[in-house]
Amino acid sequence: MKNVIAIIGGTGKAGKYLAETAIQKGYKVRLLVRIPEKLTFADPNVSFIQGDARNADSIYSLINGCDVVINTFGQPNRAKPLYSETTTLIVNTMKELEIKRYIGVTGGSLDIKGDKKTFVNKLGAIAFRILYSEMILDKKKELQILEESKLDWTLVRLPFVKEHKESKKIKVNSLDMPGFKISAESIAQFLIEQVSCSSYIHKAPFISN
């Protein structure tokens, strides 16, 4: 059994529910946080590393001794995209430490060969490519890094995230976004399920409520 989960982005929209969900499922958790004061709970099964996801020493300290890495790193839409840079650092460190299981998140606007999106979802993806072209290109690069990594990766594609805690049925589709919103708690639930599930290894499923 994979017992220890490293979480990057553990104080973000979805990330803050990940530790809670993981503990409920019997895992130990290690969080990377820049500002420890943002942590709103304490538990003997949770430890944290103070650092930055762009720093090699921080990533090494975080994932050394862990079995799984969950990456929910996020940043403002208009900021210079750092997703591929951060993922490259994580992947290289995982290889060095011989950790295989990687679970990450990305936007539902990311197009992948074989998708069969509805007309509305295609329009949404086009709009994102126009409005956030630099970010979309960086997220495509992130996917390529994972595809070439030889890790057991899963990249979950998300719609609009509702930040409040709300448990609802989770819809999963490999080819198209099945809904327009998802709760942060549902994201956490799905990501933690993937720790012991092999159904979506080397895949990028869409999820929604």
The per-residue DSSP string of 39-81 comes to -----TTEEEEES-TT-HHHHHHHHTT-SEEEE-----TTSPP
- Could you tell me the pTM of the whole model? 0.93
- The ranges assigned to domains in the chain are 4-208
Burial 158-178 (b: 16+ CB within 10 A, else e): bbebbeeeeeeebeeeeeebb
Q: What is the CATH number of domain 4-208?
A: 3.40.50.720
pLDDT digits (tens, 9 = 90+) for 92-146: 999 999 999 999 999 999 999 999 999 999 888 888 888 888 889 999 999 999 9
pLDDT in tens, 52-73: 999 999 999 999 999 999 999 8
